[in-house]
Amino acid sequence: MKQLNLKIKYPQNYIIRRPVTGTFILFLFSIGFTLLYHPMNTHKSIYFSFEFTMLLYSLSNAVVAGLSIFILKKIPFFSKIENWTIGKEIASIYIVLQILGIAIYFLGFAIEQQSNEGRWNLFTFLDSCKHSFLIYIFPFAFFSIVNYKFLFLNFESTINKFQEEKHQKHTINIRSQLKKESLSFQANELLYAVSDGNYVVFHLYKNNELKKIPVRNSISDIETQLKDIPSFLRCHRGFIVNLSMVESKKGNSSGYLLRIKHCKNVIPVSRNKTKRFNQFMETPPQ
């Protein structure tokens, strides 16, 4: 039987990628689940009704999960979405669920209507951890399963690889608004192109040398000429970047700043282009 390779790149779980929205999803799932099915034989607290007690449990657990994810994403091992793997997916979910189990155990001392002395034992602690897994694994598993098809795209990824190689080796001929002016280069030589007045300046890395070549044209027309190259993205109104040359990024869903190979300049990614950028970085052509 073929063993699962935990180092295979994998799209990050939505709850982990978007912890604020993820917290809200966990809260809605938890409140619905606990009201329909009474896990751990929970009952109302000393001061509140059963429904409000479940609301406290659900809200507290969702907040704990959200904070756990925020902290987890600060750890270098889990911080880079572009380096996410199956192993990191499993490990991160396990850590969050384990923290939730601990939280449920201690919340019981404040919420449950029972003797705290009777709760202070290993069996109750393990039971809380078990039920946290049984309850909260469902929303996490749902978003992981949605991404599971990624594992079966080997053939498509192979096709994309050859297509990308073909594009990268293909000679690109850029048309200029000036009849006597033209520009030719290999796809993998382009770092980025930037609008500069009536010109577009192409930043190329050729023969171990960085070159800046202006061509009289608009950035929109250049975008049209480069539309058949999947790794070229109009990342900003004034920039087209070769995503294959990206080394790192900083920022959030409001926009990124990219570091490019062979170049010290920082390239912006506008808010409406972050989704396309993330799609490429999560499942790039292999």
**Domains detected in the chain:** 14-152 (no CATH), 154-282 (2.40.50.1020)
Indicate the pairing of strand 246-252 with strand 255-260.
antiparallel
The token pair that represents 107 in the structure block: 């919340």
Query: Tell me, what's the pLDDT at 70?
Result: 92
- Residue labelled with tokens 């657990």: 61
CA distances to 7, 25, 62, 66, 240 from 16, in Å: 18, 11, 13, 9, 30
Query: Tell me, what's the pLDDT at 155?
Result: 37
Ordered alpha helix ranges (H), the chain: 14-17, 19-36, 50-72, 76-79, 86-111, 116-119, 122-146, 154-169, 219-225, 274-282
| Angle separating helix axes 86-111 and 50-72, nearest 10 degrees | 140
Q: What share of the chain is helix, strand, coil (3-state, %, to 5)?
A: 55, 20, 25
For 228-243, write each residue's pLDDT tens digit: 888 899 999 999 999 8
- The band of 158, judged by pLDDT with boundaries at 50, 70 and 90, is very low
Phi, psi of 162 (to 5 degrees): -65, -35
Of 179-183, 197-201, 238-242, give the lowest mean pLDDT range: 179-183
| Residue scoring higher pLDDT (161 or 261) | 261
